[in-house]
Structure 1
């Protein structure tokens, strides 16, 4: 009897001790925090503070109803079904109306979108780092997004190139460096993951409020702090620290982050040996000051310094087949010094004129100074490898098939200043939303390009490929002048004035018993190119866009979506400059017609939430500006003599494959081809046919503090295995498939949901130690080929330039 009584008393307590946490900020329609909101579940409750922040423990492993109530606002009723220890951020928006709104059911930290936007949980960025940590490390696991260089943050989307992606931070467009040739020199991603609150990504068919690019939009929102906190992260590749705070009167709040990155651990593992010093650092801040409840000012600032110094010494690359193994031996002299310094500042004023009308004014300036200096002499031997087992010279080159040298030189300087002023506004009336913008941009580019390359094979200088004179040495004497294999010299001073505007209308309503969403919008873009020695040229384009989504009143949770429009990409400076360095102001905007059909199916499996997202898309492109792609450097032909198309299918299944964690599996099929000067269709440089991506999280059931993540990507090879000077119609060689798996293990020494008796542990809110293995299976991926001539056959051999091998990293993360 006593045992039975004990069970009745203790077991409910044990069940109740299984808890989860919901927390967040409660906002009104003007996005201002609401204090003294009553949050209640059963007999447990709490109130939001003066900053609108709340935190509440709720029972786990059961459906509970949470009520958010305030005397002046609509009541919000939310149902949660969370796992033990799960933390979900829920930020309700309460309206000034006493009517009760419909119940919202939340089973995970994903929110459904009708606009075709993929929403990524910020916690994933801070948990899954990778060789190049940042939002791009997560994007590469999504269907339709391709990254084939782990040292770079550049990505291509659905057949587009690296220049066709928009990036916004808090409504402010940000820019990337211009002169980057490979990921080794690139540095840090602009987005500081420690500062991120929301991440939205669209791979096509996006709304008119987003700018004029052809491929994708990455829309980032930085935090508005609600309390003091410090985060720090240390690893063998560098570290970061961020701090956030809010004033006592809640008028002023700010967050600042500093990052340092040294890629020496990865670069020193490459085949090319030498002295390498890649040092990248930046500091960012986002500040908010609330003058009144209706008027506030934000400031976003960034200072970035990227320095890359390299003194190569030697390289040996083994390739070929088992029957015919070959090796390339290279001995170097000289060095490379690159520097990219960027400064970015933006003010945004927000005026909440009423509950329905919001007006914004944004002013920003981006300044970049970039230098690429190198003089490198490479002397090479291409030969057959000794394969005799037991021979003391096993693996060495014994018979030379190619001997030569290559001297490369560059003195490239670029100074760019981009200034922008923009007015934005939105007005809500019932279920309708009207948004508009007027934007002016001034781009001032000062560019000096000096590059030349001399190639010598078997003692004889090689003429450039476009020279009609053929050398047949040593059999015939060559009488012509000696010229460099490549020689580019140009100095450009270019100014571009841009005027942009958009207006769009959105509405959520019902069609019978079905929920529907409409969006119609149009953009206008006028630009003028002028400069020293450049004949001024002006152009104007209009871009209409539309979206429609319907959620049928079915037993199955389905959402259908269609989006399309006419998208233009007015040329930026790099698209105006051809391979000789000449600026052509008459280059037109590339044009693309988008059609996207999507479906989202939400369901339960194993009593846990899952979602299958499917999208089929087609793009028809005209006035295409062809380009060559070498590593991550793009060089345009600066004309519009091509047309192209792209179509494909993207699938992603995400959900709680392991209770309390989010994972996904993705698949993408893509085909994109271009027709240059009506010579016929050939594969574009970004024709990545098949893509598989996996982001998987797990933990030890009996030790939930011990977690593991797997970041796996498989991409079929893209065209790009040909020489950079080659005619694309003569070379359609593809690089080998890209296969990479990164895995990370972490153990939470201190968890914010537990209490500790040790004094030193109480000093931390969170403390985690981890080990990461990059390229776990040590796959030899390549990003380009080096082409070396055979002395005897005069053929060229493609020698792969391999990316990083397996690398181990140790990480320590802490929160105060």
Structure 2
């Protein structure tokens, strides 16, 4: 008997030992459709089980090398069933999104991505954002690979969408609208985007036709969700352009979570490679934190805070730009004196209280404050020579200016100060009744902006001061002019402006069936009232209403197709910049720009090479009225502030994404756009953002025999934008285009440690992830240009467009790590 018991006990322990030796780990966070963690989710297999904690986190051990069916169940959510087959010792992170209406049973889970597809939203994985190379790596860098999104300046994080300008894009972080600096004129002054990639959990982007729950802008929505940590973790990213560090933590009782990130950036590697020789001393740094405390399962309080300090010291020395043709080369040679000092300091804080009344009703209250103080001081003297270039090969003076067609000087002076305080309080609600979902919001915003603008420019050509082009002409240098000397440009204004806004929206969504097809409905309306007041200006009060709707249908065809249509009236009530005219004076009567927007879309999901792919197609049309015309200088926008134009935009966007290489996501994008405006009834001309054709590719790969050696390629081709016009000139006389923008950024990364390759001893033991690599920006060393410098040739009395070239090929080294 004892021998039998001993044998049974021995076999039991051998079985246990064997099962532990042949096991794998499944772990992750379970979220609901609103990206909130779900507590007490039961996770079960035939032999084991687990349950999520208050942060939605779970860990489950399953048998290895066999199909294991795992069921995720919760009393208020539909069941999720999935099958896994993991290798011995493998650890897989699986983060399902539980729905309240859709039961999900498959080897590959159908999660909230379908809901976002219905809304016309593109979801981008944070891991892809962190890996893809770019001069301004991050969320905005990746957006530029999407169809319909453009920016021909790699030093800038701003972007235009489907013919709109940089001011027409909404950016949210955890449901809170965030802002950009006001006075930035060039990309190299920007430094850091608000969005810290190391803190990002989810990225959603809509290029148009978005729902009423999003704000009043004409072009796009970028909706960022920061992480709710479920464990302690440290991430670091270092390169020759700077670095970032983030720390995630959770309390022992799982009630308090925090994630904090600091970043530093130095653009000198890029700027010093440009054609203008400079002394350049940039300092771009910021710190951000997102904190959440769960007082109970029903009430959560969160705080999002950010502080940034951007200092930009610029002292140009010389510049030579060669242009023209091979047979008739021309060069602009400039010697500089003076400097520019810019300071941008911003503070942002927001509290968000979420009260989960029950499974069907959620109430939120958000209060935020944004404060920015900005200084832009410059005095730069440029003495230039415009002439013919020596093109004799072998000559010791090859490339030098031999004969000057014109000489002159230009003095630019600026003393610009801005202090803006924006305070917001908002209530949001979300209520579900059967298959119906109702969402609403009421929001109050106060914008208090104090602004002093002092800019003047004098131009001297061949010893004669040039007068403003809109004044009485003179015959200098052939005839003397006895009038007073005045600057070529002179802008002086002081504005103390207050804008009060009341916004509200209500929308309804429903999922249903039409015959045997699944259908989704959404309809909503926004109301926006704003008043403008201030010193020396008359008070103005206006209101607009913006109805919007979406419809999607998924037929029960053999092919996986989803069709959608979205449209409505979209208004953009003027922000402070749109109220300020070319002379810097606030015009309170400026109306909201209006756009009738129609989008037709299709998603076709299929398998190629036995791997998943999806082709997304969208055709769109915008009819714009009460348009506020503007000019674009690098990234600075100057508005006419008089609503004296109408415009249109239409185009087609295509994107094919999938596993071109097994286990990695890549995509190809194509966009066609035409946008024109009619100012004062003079006829249609191209708008400054009329980017006709766009091709882009994002490609990830690895060496088959060395899977730890990974390659990333980011390529963009944009046809040329309109080159702009000289200051005060008639844009109808200047419709020539810049050359096409062509750029490729390449990254090579070797992974030493990751989830599949951990070490229990040695110097690699502390790391969860560790990689080293290098990047090549502008791989093909293409000479791109963003704008023109206009130089006056006195002898011909004409202005010549000199291209401002962007960065050449630049090398960078980079390392990323996780503890």
Are residues 593 and 57 of structure 1, via their aligned partners in 2, closer, same or farther at CA, if it must alter by over 3 Å? farther
Contact map agreement 1:653 1:665 (CA 8 A) in 2: yes
Post-superposition offset of 1:327: 1.0
Residue 495 (structure 2) aligned to one of 484, 492, 503: 492
Give the distance between the partners of 1:395 and 1:755, measured in 2 at CA.
56
Post-superposition offset of 1:326: 1.2
Residue 527 (structure 1) aligned to one of 506, 525, 530: 530
Q: Which moved more, 1:111-120 or 1:410-419?
A: 111-120
Give the distance between the partners of 1:560 and 1:81, measured in 2 at CA.
34
Post-superposition offset of 1:66: 3.0
Q: Which residue of 1 aligns with 2:97?
A: 92
Q: Which residue of 1 aligns with 2:239?
A: 235
Are residues 63 and 136 of structure 1, via their aligned partners in 2, closer, same or farther at CA, if it must alter by over 3 Å? farther
Contact map agreement 2:340 2:378 (CA 8 A) in 1: yes
Contact map agreement 2:345 2:373 (CA 8 A) in 1: yes
Residue 103 (structure 2) aligned to one of 90, 101, 104: 101
Q: Which residue of 2 aligns with 1:811?
A: 814
Q: Which residue of 1 aligns with 2:343?
A: 339
Are residues 46 and 706 of structure 1, via their aligned partners in 2, closer, same or farther at CA, if it must alter by over 3 Å? farther
Task: Name the SS for the 2:167 alignment partner.
Answer: helix
Post-superposition offset of 1:200: 0.6
Post-superposition offset of 1:33: 2.7
Contact map agreement 1:372 1:413 (CA 8 A) in 2: yes
Q: Which residue of 2 aligns with 1:602?
A: 605
Q: Structure 1 stretches of 5 or more lacking a match?
A: 1-12
Q: Which residue of 2 aligns with 1:504?
A: 507
Contact map agreement 1:81 1:107 (CA 8 A) in 2: no
- The answer to whether residue 593 in structure 2 is matched with residue 590 in structure 1 is yes
Post-superposition offset of 1:575: 0.4
Contact map agreement 1:518 1:548 (CA 8 A) in 2: yes
Structure 1 segment 736-815 matched on structure 2, within 5 A = 736-815=739-818
1:38-97 per-position Cα deviation (integer Å, ceiling 9, x unaligned): 243x657654345321245789999864321357764321356999989564233265x9
Contact map agreement 2:767 2:817 (CA 8 A) in 1: yes
Give the distance between the partners of 1:71 and 1:598, measured in 2 at CA.
36
- The answer to whether residue 187 in structure 2 is matched with residue 183 in structure 1 is yes
1:131-177 per-position Cα deviation (integer Å, ceiling 9, x unaligned): 10210000000000001101101100000000000000111000011
Q: Which residue of 1 aligns with 2:326?
A: 322
Q: Which residue of 1 aligns with 2:458?
A: 454
Residue 311 (structure 1) aligned to one of 309, 315, 324: 315
- Structure-2-length-normalised TM-score: 0.94
- The answer to whether residue 628 in structure 2 is matched with residue 625 in structure 1 is yes
Contact map agreement 2:41 2:72 (CA 8 A) in 1: no
Q: Which residue of 2 aligns with 1:566?
A: 569
Q: Which residue of 1 aligns with 2:40?
A: 35
Post-superposition offset of 1:553: 0.6
Q: Which residue of 2 aligns with 1:577?
A: 580
Q: Which residue of 2 aligns with 1:142?
A: 146
Are residues 211 and 311 of structure 1, via their aligned partners in 2, closer, same or farther at CA, if it must alter by over 3 Å? same
Task: Name the SS for the 1:106 alignment partner.
Answer: coil
Contact map agreement 2:30 2:37 (CA 8 A) in 1: no
- The answer to whether residue 614 in structure 2 is matched with residue 611 in structure 1 is yes
Q: Structure 2 stretches of 5 or more lacking a match?
A: 1-17
Structure 1 segment 80-479 matched on structure 2, within 5 A = 89-93=94-98, 101-104=103-106, 106=108, 111-112=113-114, 113-467=117-471, 469-479=472-482
Contact map agreement 1:22 1:58 (CA 8 A) in 2: no
Post-superposition offset of 1:720: 2.5
Contact map agreement 2:758 2:768 (CA 8 A) in 1: no
Give the distance between the partners of 1:355 and 1:109, measured in 2 at CA.
19
Contact map agreement 2:688 2:724 (CA 8 A) in 1: no
Are residues 362 and 73 of structure 1, via their aligned partners in 2, closer, same or farther at CA, if it must alter by over 3 Å? closer
Task: Name the SS for the 2:781 alignment partner.
Answer: coil
Are residues 37 and 728 of structure 1, via their aligned partners in 2, closer, same or farther at CA, if it must alter by over 3 Å? same
Contact map agreement 2:78 2:103 (CA 8 A) in 1: yes
Are residues 336 and 50 of structure 1, via their aligned partners in 2, closer, same or farther at CA, if it must alter by over 3 Å? same
1:437-462 per-position Cα deviation (integer Å, ceiling 9, x unaligned): 00000000000000000011111111
Q: Which residue of 1 aligns with 2:12?
A: none
Q: Which moved more, 1:456-465 or 1:144-153?
A: 456-465
Are residues 621 and 29 of structure 1, via their aligned partners in 2, closer, same or farther at CA, if it must alter by over 3 Å? closer
Post-superposition offset of 1:609: 0.2
Post-superposition offset of 1:604: 0.3
Post-superposition offset of 1:20: 9.4
Are residues 813 and 582 of structure 1, via their aligned partners in 2, closer, same or farther at CA, if it must alter by over 3 Å? same
Contact map agreement 1:21 1:86 (CA 8 A) in 2: yes
Give the distance between the partners of 1:175 and 1:417, measured in 2 at CA.
11
Contact map agreement 1:345 1:365 (CA 8 A) in 2: yes
Are residues 556 and 201 of structure 1, via their aligned partners in 2, closer, same or farther at CA, if it must alter by over 3 Å? same
Q: Which residue of 2 aligns with 1:636?
A: 639
Give the distance between the partners of 1:186 and 1:168, measured in 2 at CA.
19
Give the distance between the partners of 1:708 and 1:91, measured in 2 at CA.
28
Are residues 109 and 380 of structure 1, via their aligned partners in 2, closer, same or farther at CA, if it must alter by over 3 Å? farther
Residue 29 (structure 2) aligned to one of 4, 17, 24: 24
Post-superposition offset of 1:333: 0.4
Task: Name the SS for the 1:213 alignment partner.
Answer: coil
Task: Name the SS for the 2:813 alignment partner.
Answer: strand
Are residues 91 and 522 of structure 1, via their aligned partners in 2, closer, same or farther at CA, if it must alter by over 3 Å? same
Give the distance between the partners of 2:461 and 2:738, measured in 1 at CA.
25
Contact map agreement 1:82 1:108 (CA 8 A) in 2: no
- Structure-1-length-normalised TM-score: 0.94
Post-superposition offset of 1:674: 0.4
1:567-594 per-position Cα deviation (integer Å, ceiling 9, x unaligned): 0000011000000011110000000000
Give the distance between the partners of 1:313 and 1:708, measured in 2 at CA.
38
Task: Name the SS for the 2:733 alignment partner.
Answer: coil
Residue 542 (structure 1) aligned to one of 542, 545, 556: 545
Are residues 790 and 246 of structure 1, via their aligned partners in 2, closer, same or farther at CA, if it must alter by over 3 Å? same
Post-superposition offset of 1:130: 1.4
Task: Name the SS for the 2:731 alignment partner.
Answer: coil
Task: Name the SS for the 1:367 alignment partner.
Answer: strand
Q: Which residue of 2 aligns with 1:9?
A: none
Contact map agreement 2:29 2:37 (CA 8 A) in 1: no
Post-superposition offset of 1:799: 1.1
Q: Which residue of 1 aligns with 2:658?
A: 655
- The answer to whether residue 485 in structure 2 is matched with residue 482 in structure 1 is yes
Q: Which moved more, 1:65-74 or 1:740-749?
A: 65-74
Q: Which moved more, 1:231-240 or 1:781-790?
A: 781-790
Contact map agreement 1:30 1:355 (CA 8 A) in 2: no
Post-superposition offset of 1:793: 2.2
Q: Which moved more, 1:475-484 or 1:519-528?
A: 475-484
Give the distance between the partners of 1:713 and 1:673, measured in 2 at CA.
23
Contact map agreement 2:628 2:644 (CA 8 A) in 1: yes
Give the distance between the partners of 1:59 and 1:155, measured in 2 at CA.
48
Contact map agreement 1:26 1:48 (CA 8 A) in 2: no
Post-superposition offset of 1:37: 2.0
Give the distance between the partners of 1:634 and 1:202, measured in 2 at CA.
23
Post-superposition offset of 1:27: 4.9
Contact map agreement 1:524 1:541 (CA 8 A) in 2: yes
1:297-354 per-position Cα deviation (integer Å, ceiling 9, x unaligned): 0000000111100111111111111100111110000000001110000000011111
Are residues 313 and 640 of structure 1, via their aligned partners in 2, closer, same or farther at CA, if it must alter by over 3 Å? same
Give the distance between the partners of 1:592 and 1:802, measured in 2 at CA.
34
Post-superposition offset of 1:246: 0.7
Post-superposition offset of 1:418: 0.3
What is the alpha-carbon root mean square deviation over aligned residues?
2.3
1:472-531 per-position Cα deviation (integer Å, ceiling 9, x unaligned): 123211122211000000000000000000000000111111111000000000000000
Contact map agreement 1:744 1:773 (CA 8 A) in 2: yes
Are residues 608 and 20 of structure 1, via their aligned partners in 2, closer, same or farther at CA, if it must alter by over 3 Å? farther
Give the distance between the partners of 2:43 and 2:466, measured in 1 at CA.
79
Give the distance between the partners of 2:416 and 2:708, measured in 1 at CA.
50
